[in-house]
């Protein structure tokens, strides 16, 4: 299920002339029977709704007074979400000759054209109030109070996301309601401006239109309509060819994407941009992070680190009551052979949360070959039959198990082996490998293939994020690279085997090895090659390459220059942990000729 709740306006949407038709109540009954919830969001006063609406019990929550009051029908409790109107304002309205208005718990209501008197009173009293229109009705409320703010409080109590809510309305004050929802609908009798703004317009008016929407929800969860709605699309990038490159999107529902490419091709930048845009769409992310790439920031909260394994229960609780858009599960402390089983256990728990709430909206499997390795015996039993929405990042499809690859419906292949990656995916999923002409991809470009089509769309320029994010910096400075990606100081005779699993240790070990060992790796270009292929920093690699090739520099001078280049780009912690190879024996740090 994608949409878990329907948020509906009352007057001229659910009701006509204040009354809800029996057929409309029947539709809400069907909605509830499907496991979905109904939320009433009205500009009316709460006491008025209690008097005229006989079936408030069908609603999980009622937002009244245009977002000022939240009512729970099952308990009869109400909360004020806004301060009461200042008494001075009502007195000023009366002193100006306005007598036909009402003062409720959080708003002052009147009819047009009395808003001119209200605006003058607000101005002269210096009050921080706002005027909201609803047809001929005029409401004066505190700043920031709207149907959207009231709905958000209701959803917080219900542990639902606005992205999984369909909103329906008819008038000016419903713009905020529709903007706040993952899919927006205007009834046939709605204002033209609201119809233009909505993702869908019903063919019938008022309550009959609501019933029409309910039946569409029950039919296919609005699957076909939602996938083309602007608010349900995620920008991937832009076509590379043409004078005016077209924007390219994927669906925010139902996309299982694979991002592949070797180190240094721009995968991290592309991934960061995509995740940033998803967070901006209020999509909740659950990131499985085998190598400690992510860190706590305004968007992400991290569970687990190099010393402590993450607890699945803690992950689920944070996803249930999200303090931030993304929860990253750091697996550095989980041994490599145990990571697939850990991921399987986590998926089992989180999938249950998805069934209840629709969240998290996206799984992100970074270094996915750690989690679904090719040939893993447990893949077919533990990978969910339908991942629904996910992004997996890896070097090559060959590294992933076929049970996972068969769920992929979109691939972004980057780097020099992009064509091969697309053909590998086709073979692994039983498709005819598409013919791919020889191409040259630049950093930040990708070959896009939607697997519902027989061939790739072509090369696109991936959209980067607006924020300057280098999410690998901490990992490469002080994290734990796997053995295959670490740097090894071996020396000309292979007498050493000193592993640097991050840049801090690289510098420390480099300062301790003899000049002959340093020069051996320098002359081979090993330093620049590692910076480019494994660290993924072409700028650092280019500077190191110049230093390696500068014949005027001796061992000590070249070491000092490369050390400075590393430390200029990466922050060195005060007390980095030393690997066992350094603590097990003493290394001779005496320079030799």
DSSP state, 232? G
> pLDDT at residue 371 above 90?
yes
* Per-residue confidence (pLDDT) for residue 579, from 0 to 100: 36
What is the C-alpha to C-alpha distance for residues 160 and 162, in angstroms, rounded to an integer?
A: 7
Is beta strand 247-251 parallel, antiparallel or unpaired with respect to 233-239? antiparallel
What is the C-alpha to C-alpha distance for residues 576 and 124, in angstroms, rounded to an integer?
A: 63
Banded pLDDT at 472 (limits 50, 70, 90): low
Q: In terms of domains, do 97 and 156 share one?
A: no
In a domain, 590, yes or no: no
Q: What is the domain extent for residue 355? A: 232-462
Banded pLDDT at 255 (limits 50, 70, 90): very high
Q: Other C-beta atoms within 10 Å of 28: how many? A: 23
Banded pLDDT at 477 (limits 50, 70, 90): low
Q: At 289, is the secondary structure helix, strand, or coil? A: strand
Q: Which of 393, 436, 582 is nearest to 504 (CA)?
A: 582
What is the C-alpha to C-alpha distance for residues 211 and 16, in angstroms, rounded to an integer?
A: 13
What is the C-alpha to C-alpha distance for residues 101 and 93, in angstroms, rounded to an integer?
A: 9
In a domain, 525, yes or no: yes
* Per-residue confidence (pLDDT) for residue 474, from 0 to 100: 55
What would the two tokens of residue 486 be? 């670490």
Final residue in a domain of this structure, among 407, 439, 462: 462
Is beta strand 137-141 parallel, antiparallel or unpaired with respect to 108-111? antiparallel
Banded pLDDT at 473 (limits 50, 70, 90): low
331: Cβ–Cβ under 8 A, 6 or more apart, which residues?
A: 288, 289, 290, 291, 304, 309, 310, 339, 342, 370
* Per-residue confidence (pLDDT) for residue 571, from 0 to 100: 52
Instruction: Please give the sequence-ordered ranges of beta strands (E in DSSP) within 451-505, or none if there are none.
Output: 458-462, 487-489, 498-500
pLDDT digit string, tens, across residues 185-196? 999 999 999 999
Q: Give Cα 502 distance to the centre of its chain.
A: 29
> pLDDT at residue 468 above 50?
no
Query: Per-residue pLDDT averaged across 319-324, rounded?
Result: 85
> pLDDT at residue 227 above 50?
yes
- Could you give the number of structural domains in the chain? 4
Backbone angles phi, psi at 463, to 5 degrees: -80, 120
Q: Give 413's strand partners.
A: 260, 447
Banded pLDDT at 355 (limits 50, 70, 90): confident
Q: In terms of domains, do 72 and 211 share one?
A: yes
Q: In terms of domains, do 493 and 579 share one?
A: yes
Residue 73: give its domain's CATH number. Answer: 3.40.50.1000
Angle at 299 between CA 231 and CA 227, to 5 degrees: 20
Q: Using an 8 Å Cβ cutoff, are 263 and 536 in contact?
A: yes
Mean pLDDT lowest among 25-34, 130-139, 554-563, 567-576: 567-576
Q: Using an 8 Å Cβ cutoff, are 465 and 560 in contact?
A: no
* Per-residue confidence (pLDDT) for residue 264, from 0 to 100: 72
Q: In terms of domains, do 187 and 280 share one?
A: no
Q: In terms of domains, do 122 and 167 share one?
A: no
Final residue in a domain of this structure, among 402, 434, 462: 462
* Per-residue confidence (pLDDT) for residue 327, from 0 to 100: 95
* Per-residue confidence (pLDDT) for residue 279, from 0 to 100: 85
Q: In terms of domains, do 288 and 376 share one?
A: yes
Q: In terms of domains, do 140 and 161 share one?
A: no
Banded pLDDT at 387 (limits 50, 70, 90): confident
Residue 140: give its domain's CATH number. Answer: 3.90.1070.10
What would the two tokens of residue 407 be? 């769920």
DSSP element (H, E) containing 435: none
> pLDDT at residue 487 above 90?
yes
DSSP state, 448? E
In a domain, 183, yes or no: yes
Q: Using an 8 Å Cβ cutoff, are 7 and 149 in contact?
A: no
What is the C-alpha to C-alpha distance for residues 558 and 561, in angstroms, rounded to an integer?
A: 5
- Any idea which residue has 């007057």 for tokens? 11
Q: Which of 198-212, 416-430, 532-546 has the highest mean pLDDT?
A: 198-212
Q: Is the peptide bond before 392 cis (omega within 30 degrees of 0)?
A: no
In a domain, 588, yes or no: no
Q: Using an 8 Å Cβ cutoff, are 531 and 522 in contact?
A: no
* Per-residue confidence (pLDDT) for residue 306, from 0 to 100: 82
| Burial class, 516, CB count within 10 angstroms (exposed 0-12 / middle 13-18 / buried 19+) | middle
Banded pLDDT at 393 (limits 50, 70, 90): very high
Query: Per-residue pLDDT averaged across 429-456, rounded?
Result: 90
Helix ranges restricted to H, 240-387: 267-280, 312-320, 339-357, 379-382
What is the C-alpha to C-alpha distance for residues 10 and 7, in angstroms, rounded to an integer?
A: 10
Instruction: Please give the sequence-ordered ranges of beta strands (E in DSSP) within 403-527, or none if there are none.
Output: 410-413, 445-450, 458-462, 487-489, 498-500
> pLDDT at residue 76 above 50?
yes
In a domain, 151, yes or no: yes
Q: Using an 8 Å Cβ cutoff, are 462 and 271 in contact?
A: no
Q: In terms of domains, do 429 and 565 share one?
A: no
* Per-residue confidence (pLDDT) for residue 1, from 0 to 100: 86
In a domain, 467, yes or no: no
Is beta strand 69-72 parallel, antiparallel or unpaired with respect to 77-80? antiparallel
Average pLDDT, the chain: 89
Q: Using an 8 Å Cβ cutoff, are 85 and 96 in contact?
A: no
> pLDDT at residue 347 above 50?
yes
Banded pLDDT at 231 (limits 50, 70, 90): confident
* Per-residue confidence (pLDDT) for residue 522, from 0 to 100: 96
What is the C-alpha to C-alpha distance for residues 515 and 559, in angstroms, rounded to an integer?
A: 9
What is the C-alpha to C-alpha distance for residues 10 and 27, in angstroms, rounded to an integer?
A: 15
What is the C-alpha to C-alpha distance for residues 560 and 440, in angstroms, rounded to an integer?
A: 37
Residue 238: give its domain's CATH number. Answer: 3.40.50.300
Banded pLDDT at 585 (limits 50, 70, 90): very low
Q: In terms of domains, do 369 and 430 share one?
A: yes
Q: In terms of domains, do 196 and 322 share one?
A: no
Backbone angles phi, psi at 285, to 5 degrees: -115, 140
More confident residue, 181 or 380: 181
Q: Using an 8 Å Cβ cutoff, are 65 and 106 in contact?
A: yes
Banded pLDDT at 593 (limits 50, 70, 90): very low
Query: Per-residue pLDDT averaged across 240-258, rounded?
Result: 85
Q: In terms of domains, do 447 and 543 share one?
A: no
Q: In terms of domains, do 241 and 366 share one?
A: yes
> pLDDT at residue 376 above 60?
yes
For 381-408, b/e burial (b = at least 16 CB within 10 A) is: ebbeeebbbbbbbbbbbbbbbbbbbbbb
In a domain, 300, yes or no: yes
* Per-residue confidence (pLDDT) for residue 467, from 0 to 100: 60
Query: Per-residue pLDDT averaged across 459-482, rounded?
Result: 68
Query: Per-residue pLDDT averaged across 240-269, rounded?
Result: 85
Final residue in a domain of this structure, among 462, 494, 520: 462
What is the C-alpha to C-alpha distance for residues 45 and 63, in angstroms, rounded to an integer?
A: 10
Banded pLDDT at 475 (limits 50, 70, 90): low
In a domain, 468, yes or no: no
pLDDT digit string, tens, across residues 98-157? 989 999 999 999 999 999 999 999 999 999 899 999 888 899 999 999 999 999 999 999
What is the C-alpha to C-alpha distance for residues 262 and 504, in angstroms, rounded to an integer?
A: 23
Query: Per-residue pLDDT averaged across 287-297, rounded?
Result: 87
């Amino acid at each position: 299920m994608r949409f878990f709740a329907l948020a509906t306006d009352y007057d001229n949407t659910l009701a006509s002339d204040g009354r809800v038709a029996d057929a409309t109540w029947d539709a809400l009954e069907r909605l509830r029977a499907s496991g979905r919830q109904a939320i009433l969001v009205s500009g009316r006063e709460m006491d008025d709704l209690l008097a005229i609406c006989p079936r408030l019990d069908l609603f999980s929550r009622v937002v009244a007074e245009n977002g000022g009051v939240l009512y729970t029908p099952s308990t009869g409790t109400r909360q004020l979400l806004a301060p009461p109107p200042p008494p001075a304002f009502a007195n000023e309205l009366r002193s100006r000759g306005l007598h036909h208005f009402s003062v409720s718990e959080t708003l002052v209501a009147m009819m047009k054209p009395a808003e001119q008197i209200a605006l003058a009173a607000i101005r002269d009293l210096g009050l921080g109030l706002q005027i909201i229109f609803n047809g001929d009705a005029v409401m004066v409320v505190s700043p920031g109070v709207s149907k959207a703010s009231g709905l958000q409080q209701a959803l917080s109590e219900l542990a639902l996301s606005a992205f999984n809510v369909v909103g329906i309305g008819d008038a000016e004050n419903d713009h905020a309601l529709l903007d706040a929802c993952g899919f927006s609908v205007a009834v046939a009798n709605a204002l033209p401006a609201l119809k233009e703004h909505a993702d869908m317009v019903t063919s019938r008016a008022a309550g009959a239109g609501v019933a029409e929407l309910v039946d569409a929800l029950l039919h296919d969860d609005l699957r076909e309509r939602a996938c083309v709605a602007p608010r349900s699309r995620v920008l991937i990038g832009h076509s590379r060819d043409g004078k005016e490159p077209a924007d390219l999107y994927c669906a925010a529902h139902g996309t299982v994407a694979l991002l592949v490419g070797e180190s240094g091709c721009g995968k991290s930048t592309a991934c960061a941009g995509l995740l940033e845009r998803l967070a901006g769409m209020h999509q909740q992310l659950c990131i499985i992070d085998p190598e400690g790439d992510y860190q706590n920031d305004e968007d992400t909260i991290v569970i687990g680190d190099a010393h402590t394994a993450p607890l699945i229960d803690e992950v689920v609780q944070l996803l249930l009551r999200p303090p931030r858009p993304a929860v990253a599960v750091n697996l550095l402390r989980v041994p490599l052979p145990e990571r697939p089983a850990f991921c399987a256990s986590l998926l089992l728990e989180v999938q249950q949360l998805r069934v209840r709430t629709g969240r998290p909206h996206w799984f992100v499997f970074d270094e996915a070959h750690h989690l679904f390795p090719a040939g893993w015996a447990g893949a077919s039993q533990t990978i969910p039959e339908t991942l629904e929405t996910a992004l997996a990042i890896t070097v090559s499809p060959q590294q992933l198990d076929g049970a996972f690859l068969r769920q992929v419906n979109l691939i972004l292949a980057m780097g020099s082996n992009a064509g091969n990656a697309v053909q590998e995916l086709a073979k692994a999923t039983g498709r005819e490998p598409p013919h791919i002409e020889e191409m040259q991809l630049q950093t930040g470009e990708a070959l896009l293939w939607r697997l519902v089509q027989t061939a790739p769309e072509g090369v696109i320029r991936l959209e980067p994020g607006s924020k300057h994010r280098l999410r690998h910096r901490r990992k490469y400075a002080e994290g734990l690279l796997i053995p295959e990606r670490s740097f090894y100081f071996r020396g000309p005779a292979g007498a050493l085997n000193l592993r640097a699993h991050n840049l801090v240790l690289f510098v420390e070990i480099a300062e301790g090895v003899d000049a002959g060992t340093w020069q051996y790796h320098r002359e081979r270009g090993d330093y620049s090659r590692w910076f480019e292929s494994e660290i993924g920093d072409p700028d650092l690699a280019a500077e190191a390459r110049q230093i390696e090739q500068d014949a005027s520099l001796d061992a000590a001078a070249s070491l000092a220059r490369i050390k400075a280049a590393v430390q200029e780009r990466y922050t060195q912690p005060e007390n980095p942990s030393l690997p066992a190879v350094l603590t097990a024996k003493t290394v001779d740090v005496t320079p030799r000729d």
